[in-house]
Every structure is written in structure tokens, then in C-alpha cells.
């Protein structure tokens, strides 16, 4: 059973005057194809008990983290709600404390980085103009990455060059002292991070749930396998 926290629409984007929790169905379908049972996790005041009912955690993509200082151009940000970030952070902490495997995707990878002191590029085009374009067409846009050998990611998809989709304008600038970079794009932008002291704590910047092929299948299968291992 793989828990997937729901995204929080706190500002009436779906329907004015209401708050909604929602999820891209692609995450649940990817978990099901890999042999797991997806379980959606709503925002609640005490998230730790939810961990007792799941065997692994998938932190999906979501909205943006805001920079510490007011941005020059607020229009480039769609901020994640404070409730979303607080809930997901507590959920991640509880999952790792309980030995549950964790896979973070895009926002989820950045949340893992945030939990362990990583620094951010809050808007790549402005803060790292030498980087290539990372907000590519969802259907056809791809760029290469290089997966580092000897990493959890390499165990899942093999080391060396791979091709991924790319839908982000934020990324981790530096992983901090506790995390390891397990993949980069040719421009140096971090594409995956992991925690070497946990059996499976991995974050990827791309969206494997939207990307058909053996690599994506292997990544979700690795999460399911890690959840089985944790039960032994």
C-alpha cells in the first residue's frame, strides 16, 4: 500500500469559495501498474498515524515553494499552501522515522531537499540563466540526464545517460550535507537526489508517471520492491 498525499487547492482555483484536495490519476495508475495499491492521503492535523496504514510513500508533483524574499515577478509562481507544505513535511518525517521507502517527484523531490537543508533555485530562468530550458512540452519535450553509478537511482534504472521529460522551473541548487546528487542534466541542474542513510529515499525532478518506458516502470517497481523489503 503506497500513500499519495493529495494536492491542496486553498484559493478556489477549482471552484470559487471552496477548498479542494485533488490528485493527478497518473500517480495512482503508475503505482497500480507496478504492483502496488495506491492510497490517497488527505491533509489532516496529525499525519503520523496515516503512516501506520501504508508501506511506502509517494510524494507527487505540486505547486511552488516561494523564495524567502518577495519575488520581483510573482506571476511566475503558483505557491503551494502553507497547510500543504506543513502536512507533506510531517508526513515525510514520519515515513522516514518508521522506515518506509519514499519516492518524491518534482515538488516531492524538492520537499525532500527542503527537509534536509538543500538550497533552491526558486526560478531557474532568472537565477540560473545559463541553464537550458526545463519547462518543456509535456507530450514531447525531453532532455538527457546522467545517472551516477552506485546510487539508489542507478540500482533502479542503471547508471549512465537517460532521457526524461521536464516540467519544472524550480530545482535544488545544492543538496546540502546529508543528501547525495544521483543525476544531473547536461547544464548541471540537479535532476535527482537521495539520502544515502535510508534504504530508499529518492527524489527525481522529472515526471515518470507521465513518461512511458522501461525507466519509469523500473522506478515505480523499485519503490514497490523497497516497500516489500521493509515489511520483512
Concerning whether 209 is annotated as a catalytic residue, the answer is yes
The set of cell numbers assigned to 150 is 552506485
User: Containing domain of residue 86, as a range?
Assistant: 2-69+77-231
Strands 171-174 and 180-184: unpaired
Summarize pLDDT for 73-121 with one digit per residue, the tens.
999 999 999 999 999 999 999 999 999 999 999 999 999 999 999 999 9
Neighbours of 31 (CB within 10 A): 24
The set of cell numbers assigned to 30 is 503508475
Give the confidence band of 232 by pLDDT, cuts at 50, 70, 90: confident
Q: Helix 82-97 crosses helix 107-115 at what angle (to 10 degrees)?
A: 70
Q: How many CA atoms lie within 13 A of 210 on its CB side?
A: 20
- What CATH number has the domain bearing residue 169? 3.40.50.880
Concerning whether 128 is annotated as a catalytic residue, the answer is no
Catalytic residue among 7, 8, 106, 168: 106
Q: How many domains does the chain have?
A: 1
pTM of the predicted model as reported, rounded to 2 decimal places: 0.97
Give the confidence band of 141 by pLDDT, cuts at 50, 70, 90: very high
Local structure of residue 207 (DSSP, 8 states): -
Concerning whether 198 is annotated as a catalytic residue, the answer is no
Residue with cell 545517460: 161
Amino acid at each position: 500500500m503506497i500513500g499519495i498525499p493529495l494536492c491542496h487547492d486553498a484559493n478556489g482555483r477549482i471552484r470559487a469559495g471552496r477548498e479542494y484536495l485533488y490528485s493527478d490519476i497518473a500517480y495512482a495508475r503508475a503505482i497500480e501498474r507496478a504492483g502496488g495499491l495506491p492510497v490517497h492521503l488527505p491533509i489532516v492535523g496529525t499525519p503520523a498515524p496515516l503512516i501506520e496504514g501504508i508501506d511506502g510513500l509517494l510524494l507527487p508533483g505540486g505547486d511552488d515553494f516561494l523564495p524567502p524574499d518577495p519575488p520581483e515577478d510573482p506571476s511566475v509562481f503558483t505557491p503551494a499552501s502553507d497547510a500543504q507544505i506543513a502536512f507533506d513535511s510531517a508526513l515525510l518525517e514520519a515515513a522516514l522515522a518508521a522506515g518506509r521507502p519514499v519516492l518524491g517527484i518534482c515538488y516531492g523531490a524538492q520537499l525532500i531537499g527542503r527537509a534536509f537543508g538543500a538550497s533552491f533555485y526558486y526560478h531557474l530562468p532568472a537565477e540560473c540563466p545559463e541553464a537550458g530550458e526545463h519547462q518543456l512540452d509535456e507530450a514531447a519535450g525531453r532532455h538527457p540526464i546522467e545517472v551516477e553509478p552506485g546510487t539508489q537511482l542507478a540500482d533502479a534504472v542503471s547508471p549512465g545517460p537517460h532521457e526524461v521529460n521536464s516540467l519544472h522551473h524550480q530545482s535544488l541548487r545544492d543538496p546540502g550535507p546529508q543528501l547525495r546528487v544521483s543525476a544531473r542534466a547536461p547544464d548541471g541542474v540537479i535532476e535527482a537526489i537521495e539520502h544515502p542513510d535510508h534504504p530508499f529515499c529518492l527524489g527525481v525532478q522529472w515526471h515518470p508517471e507521465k513518461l512511458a518506458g522501461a525507466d519509469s516502470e523500473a522506478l515505480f517497481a523499485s519503490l514497490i520492491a523497497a516497500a516489500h523489503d521493509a515489511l520483512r
